[in-house]
Amino acid sequence: MADALKGRSNLIGAQQKIEGQRNSDQEELKNLEEGKTSFRNFFKSNKSKEDTKISLTAKIDATSEMSLDYLKLIKFLTILHGQLAIKMFKLHKVA
């Protein structure tokens, strides 16, 4: 039972990490679109900045999809734990 809950918590941690990456990419994209200068893009040309915007947009879309997939997997594991793992735990605990 502990392994099942540990696996679920690992998935939640991975999903939160993906969300953090997506948020930082969104912030960087916002700064690029507003024309703010950061250390990352200080020496970049305009074409390079446009390429970075495109790649960040694609990366944000990909991490959004991954985050949704993690949420689906977490929900599935929660249901699975409720139907199988907890019943098995109670069965072994009572016996």
User: Could you tell me the residue ranges of all domains in the chain?
Assistant: 2-94
Q: Which residue in 54, 63, 68, 51 sits closest to 22, CA to CA? A: 63
What pLDDT does 89 receive? 77
Count CB neighbours of 70 within 10 A: 19
Distance CA 17, CA 20 (A): 5
Threshold 0.85, pTM exceeds: no
What pLDDT is recorded for position 95? 61
Eight-state DSSP code of residue 36? -
pLDDT in tens, the chain (95 residues): 677 778 889 999 999 999 999 999 999 999 989 888 877 777 788 898 899 999 999 999 999 999 999 999 999 988 888 888 778 878 887 76
